[in-house]
Amino acid sequence: MAIIDNAIYVNGRRTESPHSLDETYELLRERHGMAWIGLYRPNSEELRSVAAEFGLHQLAVEDALKGHQRAKLERFGETLFVVIRPARYLDASETVEFGEVHVFVGPGFVVTVRHAENPDLRVVRHRMEEEPELLCLGPEAVLYTIFDEVVDGYEPVIDGLENDIDEIQDQLFGDDPGVSRRIYELLREVISFQRAIGPMPDMLDRLLKGSTKYQVDIELQRSLRDVLDHVQRAVDKADGFRTLLENALTVHSTLVTQKQNEETRRLTETGLAQNEEIKKISSWAAILFAPTLIGTIYGMNFDFMPELRWPLGYPLAVLGMVAMGGVLYAIFKRKRWL
């Protein structure tokens, strides 16, 4: 059912609850009060019926039908068309869920079109019905209350994001391999949050600038300024979150690079140490090879070998072994292999 709630208000009090749009139009002409029609994902026929009755601009109607609009405020003659992007923080998945509400405000009527469960505008309606003096201020008061409800909903989102950022800062200097992915995902959430709330200060400022021209109640203007202050703080917070997360990504990248450099240096130092050991082993192997070679040759026990029966053969062989070993030792020592 596209019509969530539908009422006629006279002097700040609900007098009628029509069951159809046609009945709403008829009663509004009779009572000369204010109609507040709440629609949830209406079809083209329903929304065009409302547009025809209240003279809504075709471009605004098309935007409301399509959805997926950025937050904005446009004026078409005496009718305001406002798109607001509410948000809520989901603790289970640690993500931010965004809604979308379109509001048409004109003389004697308010039409709200929602494309998501969030926000629940029944809360806004109940609040206003409990404050007839606020509802008496007309459609502009309804618009203010919707703004106020949406902006109040940003506070839990900010708290949730801030808590996530605190956790990331604790993980940043640890060895958690998933921290970079979490930083990136959280940064994406913050950027989406910025896009949702970024246009809000300008929208509210424009409403305030037109307050005198359209004779908006002075108390309502003060309330709008309070909402503007709250949303500006939310925007500043989101900007700060983005800067923190971008810096966190940079710091994490630097830490990863440092760790890789340290690992490379450690491997290089290990390789150099191994090379030094190999040099020593190779040097001693070469030194020992010389006497081994001579000893092997003269240990063959052939009958016919030169100097085999020579009295000086043994001393000379030993001397040759020592000399060759000494020469090789001196060479390797000079080259700092030993």
What distance in Å separates the CA atoms of residue 257 and residue 253, rounded to the nearest whole number? 6
285 or 34, greater pLDDT: 34
Who's near 271: CB < 8 A, 6+ residues apart? none
Question: Residue 304 has what pLDDT?
Answer: 56
Of the listed ranges 164-168, 224-228, 256-260, the least confidently predicted one is 256-260
The single residue listed with the structure tokens 């007309």 is: 138
CB-based contact 73:82 (threshold 8 Å): yes
When pLDDT is cut at 50, 70 and 90, the band that residue 267 belongs to is: confident
Q: What is the dihedral of CA 224, 227, 228, 231, to 10 degrees?
A: -160
pLDDT tens digits along 20-60: 999 999 999 888 899 999 999 898 899 999 999 999 999 99
Q: Where are the alpha helices (DSSP H) in 173-312?
A: 179-197, 200-209, 218-298
For residue 320, count other CB atoms closer than 10 A to its CB. 15
pLDDT tens digits along 217-234: 888 899 999 999 999 999
Which residue ranges does the chain devote to CATH 3.30.460.20? 1-134
Instruction: Give the closest residue to 251 by CA, choosing from 191, 171, 192.
Output: 171
Q: Which two tokens stand for residue 141?
A: 């008061």
What's the fold here for domain 1-134?
A: Beta Polymerase; domain 2 (3.30.460)
Q: Which two tokens stand for residue 136?
A: 């008496």
For residue 201, count other CB atoms closer than 10 A to its CB. 17
Q: Which two tokens stand for residue 178?
A: 């998933």
Asked, as a colleague might, if the bond just before 119 is cis with ω within 30 of 0, I would say: yes
What distance in Å separates the CA atoms of residue 56 and residue 50, rounded to the nearest whole number? 8
Question: Residue 227 has what pLDDT?
Answer: 95
Q: Determine the average pLDDT of the residues in 9-20.
A: 91
pLDDT tens digits along 88-147: 999 888 899 999 999 999 999 999 999 887 778 888 999 999 999 999 999 999 999 999
What DSSP designation does 7 have?
A: E
pLDDT tens digits along 291-316: 776 666 666 665 656 666 666 666 76
298 or 170, greater pLDDT: 170
Please state the length of the chain. Answer: 338
- Reported as type and span, the H/E element at residue 147 is helix 139-152
Instruction: Give the closest residue to 33 by CA, choosing from 114, 136, 118, 149.
Output: 136
Q: What are phi and psi of 329, to 5 degrees?
A: -60, -45
- Reported as type and span, the H/E element at residue 81 is strand 79-84
